[in-house]
Structure 1
Amino acid sequence: MRILVVEDDDRTAQHLVRGLSESGHVVDRAADGALGLAMALEDIYDIAVVDRMLPELDGISLVRRLRDENRHLPVLILSAIASARDRAEGLRAGSDDYLAKPFQFSELLARLEALARRADRARGQAVLRVGDLSLDLRARLGMRGAQDIGLQPREFLLLETLMRNAHRAVSRGMLLEAAWDYDFEPKGNIIDMHMHRLRRKVDGDTNTPLIHTIAGVGYMLSDVPPRKRS
């Protein structure tokens, strides 16, 4: 998943970013509510973790603004302000979950995974399929036919992006956004290098390749070979 963390406390933010990254997710951090809202409105995140007491724009207002814009990004509020009344206010504002500080990282991760599963069920996309390739978003497992293709975390994110955009060209920029955070500075042909490894796992020696290079654009995942440009 690509996760947005909106947290002004540097120590807490570093703990969240490190833990979520080590769990295989791509994480971006905003240190104030105004920037967090702007980033959330970019529609590139799967879920957001939002502190309640933030400079510029508080977490409750951030969530309300998101919902006013009809954005359905799942949001978990993470706050030391966590009485029953406070939690109810956060949920009524439009958050999907509310967790009190201090917290156990394992519980936070479990709650985020539960929110992601709920969102996937709402989209009818717990498992993505193209041809005989399937990607289980809950188990984080890729299969080609009956064979586990052994995806690494970043490969999973790249393949998820391709499968969510099946039969459409996906630019290298979109793939970079999906699998690396904002602070990453790409060097050389890093996308092509990762895609080469992913293609070996997905297509191997099969006679029916699914990953196709689109010259001048990026890549496409399709069980129907794309038409060549004239």
Structure 2
Amino acid sequence: MPDIKLAAFGNLQKDLDAQRKDVGAGIRAGTEDAAVFGKTRFRDMVTGAGLGNRLAKSWRHNVYPDRRKETFEPAALIFSKAPELMNAFNEGGLITPRRGAFLAIPTEFAPKSRHPLARHRNMPLKEFREVFGDGVLSLREKKGSGGQVLYAFAEQGFRRRFGKRRGVSRVKKGGRIKSEPVLMYVLVKQTRLQRRLNIDAVGNSVQQVYPSMVIRSILKRLGQ
């Protein structure tokens, strides 16, 4: 009885190797897409909470291993370069000063910062003193606070602005426009930070879409 030999037609091994590479590349690309999606969602969460673009852009992502290494088990890490701030706004809680006896909270009438990375923010108390001097502000205790809350007023040299250009203006001594006492800072012993972020909810949403993004990427690589 003659032997029966079976052989696959074409270069099956070559086709399988190509598909194997496409599947691996698809898994990595899907992981990368999910990481970018997650990073964007975290950034949108921060800006939506009114915490600004600078803090939002602290969210980054990395995919492992290096793109040049073939793998079927890539991993992505989505992280913030400002983890302490993120945890504070995610959990809320009590804030106390690290140095000194009080936290200085700028009011809307505190001048805008001159620092190039914070030009749209109100000056912190330290910068105000560096720019205008230590003798500009006077402290008044809030009635009934038992010394827990102080108001820092600029008695001379400033005047409040209202309307669209709400803020504060510098007033020249002896000029036609008179200055007025302006509340620049509220000094408190401690303050409670309101929870403004929900990191777990965003993380769960990313994990839910991750499998479908990987499958979609694999099918795209295979031309399906």
Whether TM-score is above 0.5 comes out as no
Give the TM-score category using the shorter length: under 0.3
Give TM-score, length-normalised by structure 1: 0.23
Greater relative contact order, per chain length (Cα 8 Å cut-off, separation 6+): 2
Larger radius of gyration: 2
Give TM-score, length-normalised by structure 2: 0.23
